[in-house]
Amino acid sequence: MSETDSGVGMLTFGGHLEVFRKMLFRIIAVVVVLACIIFCFKTETFEILLAPKDSGFITFQYIERLLATMGMPFHFKEYDIPLINTELSSQFMTHITVSCLLAALLASPYIVFELFRFISPALYESEKKYSYLVAVVVYMLFLLGLLMSYFVLFPISFQFLGNYQVDDRIANTITLDSYITTFTTLTFVMGVVFQLPVMAFILGKMGFIDSRLLARYRAYALVIIMVVAAIITPPDLFTLVLVTIPIYALYEVSILILKKWGPKPAPEESEDEETPDVQVG
């Protein structure tokens, strides 16, 4: 923006709308350009997106090697689940949708930068310091959630659900649209779930929670995390553990963050916690 911080602060409501319109136009322009570039690399794009459906995917190979080193030789059953298309324009529209989604993902650092530049004049200096950190952490955690979905959650889910049959006479025919929808949904869910430390930090700054509260309810949190993991994963213990461990690790990270940067418990709360079993006769 060409205006100074003080200038932006004095803008009228219409002026702010104009600044927002220009920002939105820049974001859309960047996303459209990236989408066009990705659209031109159709083969490479769908090689990456369709790789998790193959029984030779790197995750399965790594799990087999890991179990072999632990003296537990194991091999995933080889499978080939072809994808089909049932609508005339479905493949073309899927290509466009995937290009736009990937473009938005690649442009997300720039989008965060533009949004922060828009709201930063309204922030105090202390708030700006936290905002920079929060923006970076949010983006990094979202990427970790995306990688978790791509390399662990989705391939194992597809392997289980794609091969599951209630009767041998019923063959699975998975549509391309179903595949992409499931892929993007799980990716988004994991990206949101991995924001747990950020949400804890924000709620802590607002005074709703503190480190002692989260530590006190560790056992309940673990149960809730396992229930959520069971909902978003296939019904097998191995996948449940693979998803539960990193999410619970994020819960512990949230406790550490609140210990360092969150609100301090009041003295009377500390005294109550130190003598929880004292009864007044």
pLDDT, tens digit, for every residue of 241-263?
888 999 999 999 999 988 887 66
Neighbours of 108 (CB within 10 A): 15
| pLDDT at 267 (0 to 100) | 58
CA distances from 162 to 36, 159, 166, 172, 180 (A): 32, 5, 12, 7, 14
Adjacent-strand bridge partners of 175: 84
Q: What would the pLDDT profile of 100-138 be if each residue is shown by its tens digit?
A: 999 999 998 888 888 877 777 766 776 677 777 778 888
Per-residue burial over 219-228, b if 16 or more Cβ lie within 10 Å, else e, is: eebeeebbee
Q: Which candidate, 162, 166, 143, places its Cα nearest to that of 154?
A: 162
Length of the chain: 281
Phi, psi dihedral angles at 165 (to 5 degrees): -135, 135
Longest dimension (CA), the chain: 78
Q: Is the pLDDT of residue 77 over 60?
A: yes
Whether 157 contacts 66, CB under 8 Å: no
What would you report as the CA-atom Rg of the chain, rounded to the nearest whole angstrom?
A: 24
Q: How far apart are CA 160 and CA 165, in angstroms?
A: 10
Give this prediction's pTM. 0.77
Percentage of the chain modeled with pLDDT above 70: 86
State the pLDDT confidence band at 39, using cuts at 50, 70 and 90.
very high
Do 33 and 104 contact (CB within 8 A), yes or no? Answer: no
Weakest mean pLDDT among 13-27, 196-210, 254-268: 254-268
Q: Give pLDDT tens digits for 156-176.
A: 888 888 888 888 888 888 999
pLDDT, residue 265, reads 61
